[in-house]
Structure 1
Amino acid sequence: MESLVSTMVGRDDVQGELSAFMTATEGQALILRGETEVGKSALLDHVAGLAASENHRVIRAAGVEAEAELPFAGLHQLLYSLLPRSAGLDEGHRAVFDVVFGLRDCKAPSVMTLGIAVLDLLSLAAAEQPLLLLLDDGQWMDASSAEVCGFVGRRLTGSSVKMLIAVRSDVGSRFDTSALPELPVAALPERAAGQLLDLRHPRLDTQTRRIVMEQAMGNPLALLELPAYVNGGHHGRTAEEPLGFGDVPLSRRLQHVYGIRIERLPAPVRDELLRGALDGVGAGPGGNHAPGARYRMREADEAVAAGLLDTDPATGDLVFRHPLIRTTVVRLATPNQRRAAHAELAGVHRHDVERRARHLAASIVDPDEEVAAALEAAADSATRRGGAIAAVAWLTRAAELSETPADRSRRLGDAAFIAGHAALLDQARKLVRSDLPPGASESAAAVVTSAYVALYEDGDVRAAHRHVAAGIESLRKDSAHEPADVLTRLVNVLLAISQYAGDSVLWDRTEQLMDSLGDRVDTRSAIYRDAWSDVVRHGAGVHERVERAFAGVSELEPWDVSRLAVAAYHVDTLSQYRPYLQRAVDLEVETGAVATGMTMLHLIMLDQLAAGEWDDAERTGQRALELTTSHGNALFTHHTRAYLGLLAAMRGQVERARESQAVLDAWARPRGVGFLTQIADAIGTAAALSEGDYEAAYLYAIGITPPGSFERYAHQASRTLLDLVEAAVHTGRLEQARRHAQAASDAGLPGVSPRLALITYGALAMTAADEKEAEDMYARAEAHPAGAGFPFELARIRLAHGVRLRHTRGPKAARPVLVRAAESFERLGARGWAERAQAELRSSGAPARASLSYLTALTWQERRIAELAASGLTNKEIGARMHLSPRTVSSHLYRVFPKLGVTSRAALRDALGKTGAGGDV
């Protein structure tokens, strides 16, 4: 578009705001928001001029409709010229850029991980010269790039980087919720509009001037473009004749103006414009992959003379003056012309899987297996990069272009499968219905989709189980017509249904079916069965199998990552896989496998709960609740409320916990969703324990499993081991408590998971009749390496130990152990437990809260890092555990050492022990 810098009229206020934006001493981001063609691009030009005069480096990019579905296409534009500087970053951040721009085949990073890498790259570039990023037409920016730009824009304070983004007010965009400051750009007031019109078209007659002013409505571009059209440019029509626009939107009017100029061009020039328009020319240096430069238009001088193209001063390439010209070029072309142009562009992008496939798909009408296969490959690429929604569209088109019914059916099934994981259940149903001829039996893909709908929307585990089991039985008898992955999908959804049902009868049927399939069961499905069903009986060795499966994480689909992480949760090793989930979840909940993203949020919350990061867990849970509610996923909504209720119970927010318990139980119990009814009982148990109502806690706990045994297929049976034992001890049911603790030991629970080892030793210590045996077991529990990962359980064991010591060896022996328990409960925010620990401290002769005075010297994060370092973890391992960089960990330790009066890591444990925190790692 022709620059309006030299004729900027009526924009004094906006220009003043932009000048202040540029002269601000710190980096910041700003959104310019206004209607189409209101002059936002001209204002970007104005700011670019200001920046150049202040020796800023200016980088420009623009969103384009043609790439709105290509993940990271916009970000590639914005960073293209800076990527050579990534050599100055550490290996981790270089790898992030390689992954998102297609140079390395790994799992896509999260918004946070990528955003931090972008911030580091920008800081590196701005260290030599202040940087200004200008993004035009932000409403067409692909979702992944917009999320990263929003993340970066909110964190520019303290840098020499500024970001200015122009978006249309009449088109929704991802920047609408970016929480960045905005500057509105309104239409010009009548007086300013008249000044601009008179300045650029000084010899208009009165009638023409009046018509243009009425039709332009203060829009600067319309004021510049309409006069030539009104003044006889439209096939000799005079100014007195009506324009015939009626209520046509202003952008359509301008498209008509541009259309006249386009139609007058020679056919070869129009073809050249069409290729450029379909490939987004003028929107930056290419798509999401490094080689992906856009089409370069040539031999289009007539289009330049007609005011349709400009020359980019930086590259010398021909570019469209305005996005509306691109749109008009495409709309004027015939379908055959568009298909021919797409075919040529597919050849241009033959090395870019996704861009080539997009053009190929638009280039043909009749079935073509080569194109269908290319689209299938593009869908696979998009899925791995967090673009499951785009993958559904490409697979659907691939099905349309398939040459055989079998290939068509397979691709529609794949599309429906991904749509189900993307929370597009209505679309999934339509896809499988479109593949079902009248009178035909239901396909395996339809069975999977129906099961997702029954499970997620209604929580109908019984009907869903019957439906899928029948589908597997049918496929088991006649497998000749279905590929192996169809059977695997059926098996996996049956396992998910069985897990939620938590019913021994349904689980028995599931295991019978899987046994009948023999070696046709996928190795990962076998892991899911053993982990999700009954870890007491099948959990041994699952941890190692999960670890081996995660070794090939770059080859895993997002749903495989989440399923393996669910298996890791059941054997309490989730913490080592949380980074994978955090890298994936932000991508998946926006444009990817949304339902899978919901599960990932649950898992992240569970790991935060286990690690004692309860405030973070609350935030994660609320985010998951908003997501599940907005998508109408009733099962996941109640699942999220279950974990929020459990957190409330642990914190001592008893009223809130019981409200969650009642709502959860009322929804899940009639439907037979045993997984959730067990959590409801666990909430009741935890809430009762928190307020010291041990009788109620015992009754809730034995509702999950009777003492002395572990109910088959009840996932909470082993998880509430310590709850049942503790409640039984405090209600005088010592025999039941001892029998239950011994049952845990006899079942080999310490070998199943680190948490089960910790609480089994604690339960054995609480129930030991012999003092030496009790002390041995308490020592074993408190020294267990798992203690650092499960601080709530460890604090409970310490509290019980301290109480026992006070009665057997006196107050002095009890005090150090009680101090550690009290400090942990207070740090966690476990109100009821903290009050009980303080009461025990007072009984041991310690003044109230005096024992915790040493903690004022250290922040919570400093204390946590010191404890982990004292346990022997390296800075890198601590960083992975707390999701910090090793450099940040080192900085914290540098501050901790003088506060504790030590000079080395080796002295940390003794220093913490002397202050009363020793060993709480």
Structure 2
Amino acid sequence: MVGREDERAELAAFVASATGRALVLRGEAGVGKSSLLGHGAALAEREGHAVVRAAGVEAESALPYAGLHQLLHPLLDGAARLDDGSRALLDAVFGAGSAQRGAQDGPPSVMALGIAVLRLLSLASARRPLLLVLDDGQWLDDSSADVCGFVGRRLAGGAAGPVKLLVSVRTDAVSRFDTAALPELPVAALADEDAAHLLDHRYPDLGRGLRRIVLDQARGNPLALLELPAHLASRASDGLPVEDLADGNGVPLPRRLQGLFGTRIAALDERVREELLKGALDGAGTPGRAGAVPGARYRMRNADAAVAAGLLDTGAVAGEFVFRHPLVRSAVVQMATPEQRRAAHLALARLHRGNLERRATHLAAATAGPDEDVAGILEAAAESATRRGGALSAVTWLTRAAELSEDPADRSRRLADAAFVAGHAARPGQARQLVRADPAPGAAGSPASVLAAAYQSLYQDGDVRSTHRQVSAAIEKLRDELRDELRDELRGEPRHEPGAGPATGPEEVLTRLVVLLLAISQYSGDPVAWERTHALLASMPGLVTERARLYSATWSDVTRYGAPWAEPVRQAAAHLPDLEPWDVTRLGVAAYHLDMLDLYRPHLQRIVERELETGAVAAGMVMLHQITLDRTAVGEWAEAEETGQRGLDLALEHGHHLFAAQSRAYLAQLAALRGRTGRARDLRSEVEAWARPRGLGFLTQLADSAGATAALGSGDHEAAYLHAVGITPPGTFRPYAYQAPRTLLDLVEAALHTGRAGEARAHALAARDAGLPAVSPRLALITHGALAMTAEDVREAAETVERAASQPDAARFPFELARIRLAHGIRVSHVQDRAAARRYLAPAAEAFERLGAAGWTGRARAALGATGVPPRAPVPDPASLTWQERRIADLAASGLTNKEIGSRMHLSPRTVGSHLYRTFPKLGITTRAALRDALSRTEREARV
């Protein structure tokens, strides 16, 4: 049994009591009362009790004494030892022959019969204690319930010896136990943590989306937690997307769950059922969540009968009715006929005439045949929903709009739009299904089909080679068609087919293809692919948007083309709330290349959760990447690692293997920065093994960058040099190698430490001559830093370091600034006085220590010590370890592997590793081998 610690303790005390007792378990249907009764019975049997079980039956609730007979039947053999009067009373109520015929005075009184029952129980418990267990007491007939109440009230006084009565009743059904004045134990829904534990125990492989739906709908009800997953999983396996299984109307219920409320719903007056149906269809009483349709929901009226039936509660707002449980809402909808549901939807659509999205929701369900007006409303609602984080709803509305379209061209266009949004919602498979659903001639080779196929191939398979060819061909074809249309327009002929909406005309489709081609080119990192892309865009003057030109410049080669676009990217940050999520992330990529993600991050953090829950999930994963990158840049490395790990988990869950490799690359860089060389090496190897055979230069450059950083941190300068020149040769910046400017300091430092001073100086000068300081604040900082490191004259170097440190945004990049100060401080210590060196070395050491850059901290502290500053040992902070971190650290110190620790603690090896890496800086260590000594030392200090 999961959870229920308080209830189990109460039952244990109840069973252990030496005297008789009675206890009523009271809770809603499906809350687990029967399980607790079973638990109590098992405890009693282990303690040597005789246990008699019975259950109320609704079909027998009108039969006098039927329940009492079921409860006492196993004990009636002992009635022969009763006195004549008691035996005659039992025979009379249970219909035993002549005794029944001789009863002339009607049924016995509750007191008389109760005393007879007490005597029978006393005889039955003479040898060993007796426990009577009665489930579903609300269905017990009134006569039996009255007698049980009488008996229960006297058990505590020892009237029947060591006899206990344990009864369960439902809170939503009236019974005689409500007034029996017996001790009660309320049984509430499971706490959130226990509900999640129960669900994970019974359905360990349940998908994240389905798990969330089950937890939301069950709301701690154990029966729902156990019944819903299999039922909903079977619906999802029929092709219905998981997120579409639950909306404001609830979820489809299996028969057993529907039966919990069905009888009470059916017993209501028709007008009350109509009110409940309108409330259920409009989500009355549901809490707000990301992506939910905005606006006031329907307020049910004249529904007091439903409150009395235990189906509704009175909400916080006066006069407002709310459903007692999400399953009630689901049952109300499921029990209504299709005609009743359509009528309710139509009434709600009229009610919400002023709310675009809420009206669209109901019109979509109320309209049976083609209706262009309704289709147009749905299309407009989809656009509105996408901008506020409701891309999943937008896919549904656009698909429905296509079904209601009167013109085939409109149907094709809306299906294409639905597929486009589905691709961004991390549903590439659904996007392809939508495209295939288009019956129009030539739909199989349409731009929409190319987009859908390319999204799936790129993000799931990492295929940049064939997707580049396919998307380029589709662009060329559409470009030629648009030119033909333009010529027709100049001749006075109509340019578009009648009825074609302006929302996504051919120009917008072309833009979608162009942006996808730019993304493919960026991931390929191949100069040939980029040159072909730029040539194709140059062949379409007037057809390439300004935004696409911005992406083309900043995503391809920021060194050569980025500087003129810095101001437009800066200005765009002020208008992010007006953009669709994929446009936000595209601009975010440009901002990253221009080192101004800090302008975008506040908006990204505000909207990322809604996108991951109900919006453009793929865009949400890119937002996590961008938040990770900005946190890394500004020195928030622990938070960056958490965000990066979350991005990796989501990418794997959605099958976006390209994003998974990208997340691993960012995590590898973080591990390298923090001196976790082994982890950086393992992650980098995974990226390399997946990306290099696919020709994903974007990722292999990231892997080389992480390799260079890790090697520099551990003092292996030759390895760092080899990684750095794998990105670009010294003295130049390889075209379309986007990591080339970012690894400027890595190449310069590695070259200096390996005796290649000429190459280092040539590279620093190449950075200056390429105009890197004009491209971004970070590139300005590291260019001046590289020039300072390679300057022959110490005075010139000092001036250049000051120029670097005085850059307006220098403090925003603390790791780079500390590297520059460390390099110059070491140089000064060799040629000038120690005090001058300390001016640079002290802030560098403090910055590295604050960041948690283990290898760099050691080097800076050593250099500072050489100037006469006493060495300072790392200060462990064991008190900051969580219980789980301490347990994992203890197991790791004992020699267990991450896999073995995970098996013991029910964690994945990756989670174990993440906890360990957070533990190291708290203990002041950098390796696993140092764990045992660090833990022993902190224990000794704690004893002192």
Per the normalisation by structure 1, the TM-score is 0.65
Cα deviation code 1:836-895 (max 9, x no counterpart): 112222222322139x99x99xx9xxxxxxxxxxxxxxxxxxxxxxxxxxxxxxxxxxxx
Give the Cα–Cα distance (whole angstroms) in 1 for the partners of residues 136 and 655 of structure 2. 52
Give the Cα–Cα distance (whole angstroms) in 1 for the partners of residues 571 and 561 of structure 2. 17
Cα deviation code 1:345-396 (max 9, x no counterpart): 1011112222211111111111112211222222223222222112211211
**CA radius of gyration, larger in:** 2
1:795 to 818, 831, 856: 818
Q: Which amino acid aligns with 1:292?
A: A
Give the Cα–Cα distance (whole angstroms) in 2 for the partners of residues 498 and 614 of structure 1. 30
1:414 to 414, 417, 441: 417
Root-mean-square deviation (Å) = 3.7
Q: What is aligned with 2:450?
A: 447
1:540 to 547, 563, 576: 563
Q: How does 1:807-886 map to 2 (within 5 A)?
A: 807-849=830-872
Give the Cα–Cα distance (whole angstroms) in 1 for the partners of residues 687 and 659 of structure 2. 11
2:375 to 372, 386, 393: 372
Q: What is aligned with 1:385?
A: 388
Q: What is aligned with 1:294?
A: 298
Q: What is aligned with 1:521?
A: 544
Q: What is aligned with 1:558?
A: 581
Q: CA deviation at 1:622?
A: 1.1
Q: What is aligned with 1:428?
A: 431
Q: Secondary structure at the match of 2:734?
A: coil
Cα deviation code 1:199-257 (max 9, x no counterpart): x9447899xxxxxxxxxx95616864999xxxxxxxxxxxxxxxxxxx98443435552
Give the Cα–Cα distance (whole angstroms) in 2 for the partners of residues 676 and 313 of structure 1. 53
1:220 to 170, 181, 189: 170
- The total of aligned residue pairs comes to 651
2:697 to 674, 694, 703: 674
- Does structure 1 retain, via aligned residues, the 8 Å contact 2:136–2:169? no
Q: What is aligned with 2:635?
A: 612
Residue 463 in structure 1 maps to residue 466 in structure 2: yes
1:706 to 716, 722, 729: 729
Cα separation, partners in 2 of 1:595 and 1:692, compared to 1, 3 Å? same
Q: What is aligned with 1:602?
A: 625
Relative contact order, CA 8 A, sep 6+: which one is greater?
A: 1
2:779 to 737, 750, 756: 756
Q: CA deviation at 1:577?
A: 1.5
- Does structure 2 retain, via aligned residues, the 8 Å contact 1:571–1:752? yes
Q: What is aligned with 2:593?
A: 570
Cα deviation code 1:598-651 (max 9, x no counterpart): 111111111111111111111111111111111111111110110111111122
Q: Secondary structure at the match of 1:552?
A: helix
Farther off after superposition, 308-317 or 430-439:
308-317
Q: What is aligned with 2:267?
A: 261
- Does structure 1 retain, via aligned residues, the 8 Å contact 2:142–2:176? no
Cα separation, partners in 2 of 1:35 and 1:415, compared to 1, 3 Å? farther
1:531 to 540, 554, 572: 554
Q: What is aligned with 1:725?
A: 748
Q: Which amino acid aligns with 2:350?
A: G
Give the Cα–Cα distance (whole angstroms) in 1 for the partners of residues 434 and 26 of structure 2. 38
- Does structure 1 retain, via aligned residues, the 8 Å contact 2:283–2:297? no
Q: CA deviation at 1:12?
A: 13
- Does structure 2 retain, via aligned residues, the 8 Å contact 1:38–1:221? no
- Does structure 2 retain, via aligned residues, the 8 Å contact 1:698–1:728? yes
1:664 to 682, 687, 690: 687
Q: Which amino acid aligns with 2:864?
A: L
Cα separation, partners in 2 of 1:446 and 1:808, compared to 1, 3 Å? same
Cα separation, partners in 2 of 1:190 and 1:643, compared to 1, 3 Å? farther
Q: CA deviation at 1:716?
A: 0.7
* Structure 1: segments with no counterpart, 5+ residues: 1-10, 18-31, 41-188, 207-216, 228-246, 860-921
- Does structure 1 retain, via aligned residues, the 8 Å contact 2:26–2:171? no
Give the Cα–Cα distance (whole angstroms) in 1 for the partners of residues 550 and 176 of structure 2. 68
Q: CA deviation at 1:36?
A: 4.8
1:549 to 567, 572, 578: 572
- Does structure 2 retain, via aligned residues, the 8 Å contact 1:225–1:257? no
- Does structure 1 retain, via aligned residues, the 8 Å contact 2:293–2:358? no
Give the Cα–Cα distance (whole angstroms) in 2 for the partners of residues 273 and 380 of structure 1. 30
1:361 to 354, 361, 364: 364
Q: CA deviation at 1:302?
A: 8.8
Give the Cα–Cα distance (whole angstroms) in 2 for the partners of residues 319 and 769 of structure 1. 78
Residue 346 in structure 1 maps to residue 369 in structure 2: no
Cα separation, partners in 2 of 1:34 and 1:569, compared to 1, 3 Å? farther
Q: Secondary structure at the match of 1:785?
A: coil
Cα deviation code 1:415-474 (max 9, x no counterpart): 111111111111111111112546655111211111111111111111111111111111
Q: Which amino acid aligns with 1:666?
A: A
Q: Secondary structure at the match of 2:537?
A: helix
- Does structure 2 retain, via aligned residues, the 8 Å contact 1:285–1:293? no
Give the Cα–Cα distance (whole angstroms) in 2 for the partners of residues 775 and 320 of structure 1. 72
Q: Which amino acid aligns with 1:799?
A: L
2:645 to 622, 627, 637: 622
Q: What is aligned with 2:257?
A: 251
Q: What is aligned with 1:163?
A: none
Give the Cα–Cα distance (whole angstroms) in 1 for the partners of residues 835 and 313 of structure 2. 85
Q: How does 1:260-279 map to 2 (within 5 A)?
A: 260-262=266-268, 265=269, 271=274, 274-279=277-282
Give the Cα–Cα distance (whole angstroms) in 1 for the partners of residues 312 and 689 of structure 2. 65
- Does structure 2 retain, via aligned residues, the 8 Å contact 1:309–1:319? yes
- Does structure 1 retain, via aligned residues, the 8 Å contact 2:392–2:422? yes
- Does structure 2 retain, via aligned residues, the 8 Å contact 1:345–1:359? yes
- Does structure 1 retain, via aligned residues, the 8 Å contact 2:26–2:168? no
2:527 to 499, 504, 507: 504
- Does structure 2 retain, via aligned residues, the 8 Å contact 1:375–1:398? yes
Give the Cα–Cα distance (whole angstroms) in 2 for the partners of residues 321 and 774 of structure 1. 73
Give the Cα–Cα distance (whole angstroms) in 1 for the partners of residues 326 and 750 of structure 2. 69
Cα separation, partners in 2 of 1:322 and 1:837, compared to 1, 3 Å? closer
Give the Cα–Cα distance (whole angstroms) in 2 for the partners of residues 543 and 430 of structure 1. 40
Q: What is aligned with 1:652?
A: 675
Give the Cα–Cα distance (whole angstroms) in 1 for the partners of residues 136 and 376 of structure 2. 57
Q: Which amino acid aligns with 1:498?
A: S
Q: CA deviation at 1:333?
A: 3.8
- Does structure 1 retain, via aligned residues, the 8 Å contact 2:420–2:452? yes
Give the Cα–Cα distance (whole angstroms) in 1 for the partners of residues 673 and 756 of structure 2. 23
Cα separation, partners in 2 of 1:710 and 1:249, compared to 1, 3 Å? same
Q: Which amino acid aligns with 2:598?
A: S
Q: CA deviation at 1:727?
A: 1.2
Cα deviation code 1:281-318 (max 9, x no counterpart): 566899967852414445x8998999988888964467
Q: Which amino acid aligns with 2:522?
A: Q
Cα deviation code 1:721-770 (max 9, x no counterpart): 11111111112212111111111111111000011101111111111123
Cα deviation code 1:527-563 (max 9, x no counterpart): 1111110011001122211012222222101111111
Q: Which amino acid aligns with 1:253?
A: G
Q: How does 1:153-302 map to 2 (within 5 A)?
A: 191=133, 193=135, 196-197=138-139, 201-202=142-143, 220=170, 224=174, 249-258=255-264, 260-262=266-268, 265=269, 271=274, 274-281=277-284, 292-297=296-301
Per the normalisation by structure 2, the TM-score is 0.64
Q: Percent identity?
A: 57
Q: Which amino acid aligns with 1:261?
A: A
Q: How does 1:49-198 map to 2 (within 5 A)?
A: 191=133, 193=135, 196-197=138-139
Give the Cα–Cα distance (whole angstroms) in 2 for the partners of residues 543 and 685 of structure 1. 28
Cα separation, partners in 2 of 1:226 and 1:492, compared to 1, 3 Å? farther
- Does structure 2 retain, via aligned residues, the 8 Å contact 1:701–1:720? yes
* Structure 2: segments with no counterpart, 5+ residues: 11-24, 34-130, 148-166, 178-252, 486-495, 497-504, 881-944
Cα separation, partners in 2 of 1:844 and 1:454, compared to 1, 3 Å? same
